[in-house]
Structure 1
Amino acid sequence: MLVTLIAAARSCSPLDVRFDDDRPLDTAGWYAVERAVPVLAPLAAAELRYCSPTACSRQTGDVLGLAPLAQLALRDCDMGRWRGMTLQQVVAREPAAVDNWLQDPRSAPHGGEPLLSFVSRVGGWLDTRPVGPDGRVVAVTEPSVIKAAMLYVLKAPPDSYWRTEVYPLSVVSLSGGRGQWHLRLG
């Protein structure tokens, strides 16, 4: 099986990124995804096409011609009471909690989902995907979900999550299945 993950186009300026955000694409995001159509539209040929339930993921998928089916397992990490806040706002209010969250992948000082649970949820989705006749799956989701998928596939230590960047409209391909995944670049 080949799973291609596409990072949703941006929904806000980089300085206004909020935890567990569900805003629609902003103007720059619309323009970026429209420019990406010639390169990414061929992915719509995949039999199985999904997206996270966020507005920006659905809109990115629709512009690309994917007509994706929303999957709850592809949603961003549940950030509990930090939802809708920027990292800067949370650091100003709860600096010790942020330190704990960044250092302990089992912690959830925000009352939401620990990093390890998030990575396991995304990995579970990968491992249980049905295989279409063509063996291809495409999903549009938040960059954080793609980071979690890469962590799962590579069996990388949890702190690798914090050292990985995924930009809007980045594409990552994973081949294999059920715990035997390989990261494909290029």
Structure 2
Amino acid sequence: MQVRVSLIAAARSGSLLAERFDDDRPLDQSGWHEVQLAAPALLPLGVAELRYCSPTPRSRATGDALGFAPLAQPALRDCDMGRWRGLTLGDVTASEPAAVDAWLRDPRSAPHGGESLLAFISRIGGWLDTRPVGDGSRILAVAEPSVVRAALVYALKAPPSTYWNIDVRPLSTVTLTGHGGRWNLRIAAEGEGAAAIGSGGP
């Protein structure tokens, strides 16, 4: 038996250039508009028996706008960025260039005083591995793009540095199938909608 986990990246809360670490801003007008445009493709995912979301305003709002009424999961929170929380990468690079370089090079480093990339990926992987397994179990989670990236790195057993090479756009979706540390990235066949759109494969 295996479980099917569909991950939807939350809609935007600002431009990509203005994106902040551990961002807790609500959806902006563009985000709301994008949810409405994407709804026809995403609504079928609501048939999942269990529906979750990251505990951020934009993840909750994205799930609610799609009618999923998701349950917030603390384990799906964004990476704890310590004193960098609320700052942009540009802000931090200007004030702590050496710390940013160490953070990008070493997945075990946490110069901001928060959570290392490796710890973040492991936390998201732990959530995946503890999902209830049943014949045909379907789970949906609306999560921060960073959470989706971490889930993909963990599921594919890729090096942590792969995290920086995965581009997860707002409202993009991926589907993972498996259980307990054995996961596959499922790519949708034509006609299956957005349920398993992703990059790469097992």
TM-score by length of 1: 0.98
Instruction: Give the Cα–Cα distance (whole angstroms) in 2 for the partners of residues 132 and 182 of structure 1.
Output: 17
Higher helix residue share = 1
Percent identity for Structure 1 against Structure 2: 67
Q: For residue 3 of structure 1, give the secondary structure of its aligned residue in structure 2.
A: strand
Report the counterpart of residue 68 of structure 1 in structure 2.
70
Report the counterpart of residue 113 of structure 1 in structure 2.
115
Instruction: Give the Cα–Cα distance (whole angstroms) in 1 for the partners of residues 58 and 178 of structure 2.
Output: 28
Instruction: Give the Cα–Cα distance (whole angstroms) in 2 for the partners of residues 125 and 4 of structure 1.
Output: 13
Query: What count of residue pairs does the alignment treat as equivalent?
Result: 186
For each residue in 1:39-64, what CA deviation from the matched residue of structure 2 results, as whole angstroms up to 9, or x when unmatched?
Answer: 10111111100000000000000011
Instruction: Give the Cα–Cα distance (whole angstroms) in 1 for the partners of residues 9 and 94 of structure 2.
Output: 29
TM-superposed deviation, 1:131: 3.7
Report the counterpart of residue 36 of structure 2 in structure 1.
34
TM-superposed deviation, 1:133: 6.9
Report the counterpart of residue 167 of structure 2 in structure 1.
165
Structure 2: 5+ residue stretches without partners: 189-202
Structure 1: 5+ residue stretches without partners: none
- RMSD, aligned CA: 1.0
Report the counterpart of residue 180 of structure 2 in structure 1.
178
TM-superposed deviation, 1:132: 6.3
Question: 2:9 aligned with 1:4, yes or no?
Answer: no
Report the counterpart of residue 191 of structure 2 in structure 1.
none
Instruction: Give the Cα–Cα distance (whole angstroms) in 1 for the partners of residues 51 and 103 of structure 2.
Output: 33
Report the counterpart of residue 79 of structure 2 in structure 1.
77
TM-superposed deviation, 1:36: 1.0
Instruction: Give the Cα–Cα distance (whole angstroms) in 1 for the partners of residues 166 and 40 of structure 2.
Output: 27
For each residue in 1:155-181, what CA deviation from the matched residue of structure 2 results, as whole angstroms up to 9, or x when unmatched?
Answer: 101111111110000000000000010
Does the 8 A contact of 1:7 with 1:170 survive in 2?
A: yes
TM-superposed deviation, 1:134: 4.5
Does the 8 A contact of 1:119 with 1:149 survive in 2?
A: yes
Structure 1 segments of 4 or more deviating over 6 A? none
Report the counterpart of residue 138 of structure 2 in structure 1.
136
TM-score by length of 2: 0.90
